[in-house]
Structure 1
Amino acid sequence: MKHSPQAASDESGSNKFTVQQRLFFVVLVATMGALAYGYDTGIISGALPYMTLPADRGGLNLTPFTEGLVTSSLTFGSAVGAFISGYVSDRFGRRITLRSLALLFVAGALGTTLAPNIEIMVAMRFILGIAVGGGSSTVPVFIAEIAGPKRRAPLVSRNELMIVSGQLLAYVVSAAMSLLLHDGSMWRYMLALAMIPGVLLFIGTFFVPASPHWMVSEGRFKEALRIMRKLRENPREIKKEMAEMRQNAQQARQGPAPRELLKEKWVIRLLLVGFGMGIVLQFTGVNAFMYYTPIILKSTGLGTSAAIAATIGNGIVSVIATFAGIKAIGHFGRRPILLTGLTIVITMQLMLGAVLVFMPHNLTQSLLALACILVFLFFMQMCISPVYWLLMSELFPMQLRGVLTGSAVSFQWVCNAIVAFVFPPLLSLVGNSAFFIFAAINVGSFIFVALALPETRGKSLEEIEAHVREHFGESIKTASVAE
């Protein structure tokens, strides 16, 4: 019996819808780690004002030093988690790594909720940070390897969408509890909710496939093909991707061993670019805004509850901006988007510094400061954050993707920790002139992106690997001739 063209079209459409559903579910499960990441980094801004209260009022009696220590302990843990998870995900696969990290999310969230003193709080935040950092390096890679060339950019960018959604949820929870509970120990309830996405991630990993790229690298071709048939609509796409992955795996087996590959100049240069992008992302000062917005706004005369409520604007703007960023990534190259974002970020930092330093403390100053922060965040979350995580998922070669991504993201977390730890003392030392310092650093970031970052848009992961190998190889040859 012959099928009509219309029937064939309907069948194709149905299959397409099924593939889209599967991809949506895989990304949703994987980004539970990103949701936990966002919530854990966002909730601290609402919890800190109550954690600074004396112990007899429900707080931990934090000083500016211990405030920075509690905040940055998560980010130092994240640096360790990102680095370790890179090796683990290359050895045991992305899915098993995410499942293990989910358990750490739950344990860390529970520990911070019950912490009786600063020492245990710092230790538990460090453990929670291991999960946050491990998820931040593993989730984008897992999505990139699942998604395929056509959908990689928008699907990996949903990782950033879930991060900012988690931060928005944290701000809403903080504001609601601050307005309704009037309890100095409410920060414990805020931190307890972080267990929920960890539980969902753990359960979800039993219902998603392994990475086909990792399967092929392990020589498990039949299993990889079965997975690809569930995640791709077109047999030609499957055939082309499988051929590229097998060729890449064969070249990896015939080429230098991973330890030897780490010594090659093009790999070292590529890793340095990854490190440089960590500086670009974190020395925008974005987490100074995300962690300390209530403290910044309180310096203009706003009350604690009003300052915490104002951070909801941060979350809303970040979510809207990430949607815009997902659209932009589909139409423009990585480099132009980054350069545009850095231009606006520098401008807003100069304006915020001017508003806080030269204007009198009144409602107008508070509103202008908040406006500068919101515009900064919009372009940060539209142009810089999603592009960073996308680049981390696609820049590095398959043979070392977990290790190099983990190392680069780990360095990013070190930069994050430095900013989080230094910002309160810096603010007390030089005042609001600190924002002029961030602006100067970001001028350097603009120059770095313009000169050093290769363009990856429109290429498969295997094509990107060939491109960066050639790109940095040519640079090395040119330098040798000059010498």
Structure 2
Amino acid sequence: MATSYQFGYNISVLNQPVTLVKQFLNESYSSSRSSSSSSTSSPATDGISEHALTVIWSLCTTLFVFGGMIGAFVIGFIADRFGRSVVPFLFGLGPMYMLEVVPFNLKGAMGTIHQLFITIGIAMGSLFGLNNLLGVEGKWPILLLLNAVPGVASLVIFPFLPDSPRFLMLVRKNKEGARKALQWLRRRTDVTDEITEMEEESKSQQGQGETYTIMKLLRTRELIPPLIVSIVLQLMQQLSGINAIFFYSTSIYLNAGVPVETVQYANLGTCVINVAMTFVVIPLMDRLGRRSLLLGPIAGMIVTLAVITVALNLQSSYPSMSYVSIICVLFYVVFFACGLGPIPNMITAEVFRQGPRARAMSLAGLANWLSNAVVAMGFEIVQAATKEFVFLIFLVIMVASLIFTYFKVPETKNKSFDEIANQFKSAGGRKR
């Protein structure tokens, strides 16, 4: 959970002190130029241009994403070579480990808890960034340093956890180790049913080879449909525009007419709603299923995007439209928390058998980080060019996402990994 929290904290940590960070960048640039001018006897410049400052600021918000890309690329090799719990600070290992150690009837709830800790991390980044806490000049660097705390906690806690029973059984062929890990996790001695299920999956993998590289994964025809579903779901999650709201909600609320002194509390309120709705989804995930919680909320996101675009364009003529814009942002967060927030990582871990799962999650994670970087780096630049029409881009993406989900995303609720893999074989990736 610590790695999930850490990921969420990174998303929002720069949002509250945005003005201070931009001021720091501008002053640092001016100071360096002044020093250079003094040594060369040339006149100093006044500071960075507005466009250049926007680009540099966007790059700052994207820096942690580049590290995530590296982690996503190597995670498959590390997970298969050393186990699921050996390197706790690699974010992608968290969802994989959690979904491999829980019973099938709790996979949905556990996958949502992973998302819950991401939302808590986002909320804490906004909370600590308030200007009466750490979001002030001289203290905002401490805000960034706090992100080391969950990483240290992971390093301390993870060595005491057992490795994934499925990894021990299906990769290491260590049946006794898998049994002991299950007994520790379930707090009971009789784990025969789960051991039997893993033995069945092991038999179904015979003849397919035990080691999967990324190239082998891409060359295996039967694995292409679930891989496409996994990657597209990750793209849908990041290109939905949700991180644009959390990265840049300050500018979104200012454009909607929220007073400057109130914006930080609006940011925090948005994050709290995100946490609350994720709590609501936990008991629903294994009742309603993954498809229902994707299709319904995505449809809601489409309607919300259409309304917010109209509201932003009418705002100059009808000031009350600013309130409609704010309400739309909040509803968008609600819909995202119910579907695209928790489900993509969950389904990616569910639709593959043990052999290719780590490499598939590596590729899907890389797609997630790449699309995250595109949004983080490009949103403010695109927003400056498109102004009130910026959300139309996300609307088009969400319409395409709804169509893809309806035709291609299978239901994985209460199904074993083997049953899900067979769905793609028999139905070509479509299962209503």
TM-score by length of 1: 0.79
Write the distance in 2 (CA, Å) between the matches of 1:55 and 1:222.
Answer: 57
**Other-structure match for 1:33:** 3
Q: Deviations over 1:235-281 (max 9, x none)?
A: 66x21221222332344343245254541212122111111111211
Conservation of the 8 A alpha-carbon contact between 2:410 and 2:430:
no
**Other-structure match for 1:83:** 73
CA shift, 1:382, in A, is 1.4
SS at 1:210 equivalent: coil
- Correspondence for 1:164 among 119, 125, 128: 119
Conservation of the 8 A alpha-carbon contact between 1:38 and 1:167:
yes
Q: 1:451 to 1:269 in 2, by over 3 A?
A: same
**Other-structure match for 2:16:** 46
**Unmatched 5+ stretches in structure 2:** 31-47
Write the distance in 1 (CA, Å) between the matches of 2:430 and 2:349.
Answer: 23
Write the distance in 2 (CA, Å) between the matches of 1:34 and 1:333.
Answer: 22
Q: Deviations over 1:195-240 (max 9, x none)?
A: 111111111102211111111121111111111112236766x212
1:392 corresponds to 2:348: yes
388-397 vs 161-170, greater mean Cα deviation: 388-397
SS at 1:258 equivalent: coil
Write the distance in 2 (CA, Å) between the matches of 1:300 and 1:426.
Answer: 17
**Other-structure match for 2:84:** 94
Q: 1:197 to 1:234 in 2, by over 3 A?
A: closer
**Other-structure match for 2:293:** 337
Q: 1:365 to 1:227 in 2, by over 3 A?
A: same
SS at 1:151 equivalent: helix
1:244 is matched by which residue type in structure 2? E
CA shift, 1:437, in A, is 1.8
Higher helix proportion (structure 1 or 2): 1
Write the distance in 2 (CA, Å) between the matches of 1:434 and 1:56.
Answer: 27
CA shift, 1:301, in A, is 3.9
286-295 vs 463-472, greater mean Cα deviation: 463-472
Q: 1:267 to 1:182 in 2, by over 3 A?
A: closer
Write the distance in 1 (CA, Å) between the matches of 2:158 and 2:317.
Answer: 51
Q: Deviations over 1:45-101 (max 9, x none)?
A: 113221111458689977111111111222232122122112211111011121xx2
Give % identity: 23
Conservation of the 8 A alpha-carbon contact between 1:50 and 1:59:
no
Q: Deviations over 1:374-431 (max 9, x none)?
A: 1110110112211122112211221011110111121011111111111111110010
Q: 1:145 to 1:182 in 2, by over 3 A?
A: closer
TM-score by length of 2: 0.88
Write the distance in 1 (CA, Å) between the matches of 2:139 and 2:28.
Answer: 8
SS at 1:209 equivalent: coil
**Other-structure match for 1:187:** 140
Write the distance in 1 (CA, Å) between the matches of 2:136 and 2:429.
Answer: 60
Write the distance in 1 (CA, Å) between the matches of 2:5 and 2:193.
Answer: 33
**Unmatched 5+ stretches in structure 1:** 1-30, 102-133, 476-483
**Other-structure match for 2:99:** 144
**Other-structure match for 2:309:** 353
| 1:470-481 map, 5 Å | 470-472=426-428
443-452 vs 323-332, greater mean Cα deviation: 323-332
How many residue pairs match? The answer is: 407
Q: Deviations over 1:1-21 (max 9, x none)?
A: xxxxxxxxxxxxxxxxxxxxx
Q: 1:266 to 1:171 in 2, by over 3 A?
A: same
**Other-structure match for 1:63:** 53
CA shift, 1:339, in A, is 0.6
| 1:50-449 map, 5 Å | 50-54=20-24, 63-98=53-88, 101=89, 134-135=90-91, 137-175=92-130, 178-179=131-132, 183-216=136-169, 217-232=171-186, 238-256=191-209, 258-259=212-213, 260=216, 262-360=218-316, 364-449=320-405
SS at 1:464 equivalent: helix
1:151 is matched by which residue type in structure 2? L
- Cα RMSD, aligned residues only: 2.4
**Other-structure match for 1:106:** none
Q: 1:375 to 1:253 in 2, by over 3 A?
A: same
Q: 1:361 to 1:326 in 2, by over 3 A?
A: farther
Write the distance in 1 (CA, Å) between the matches of 2:132 and 2:28.
Answer: 16
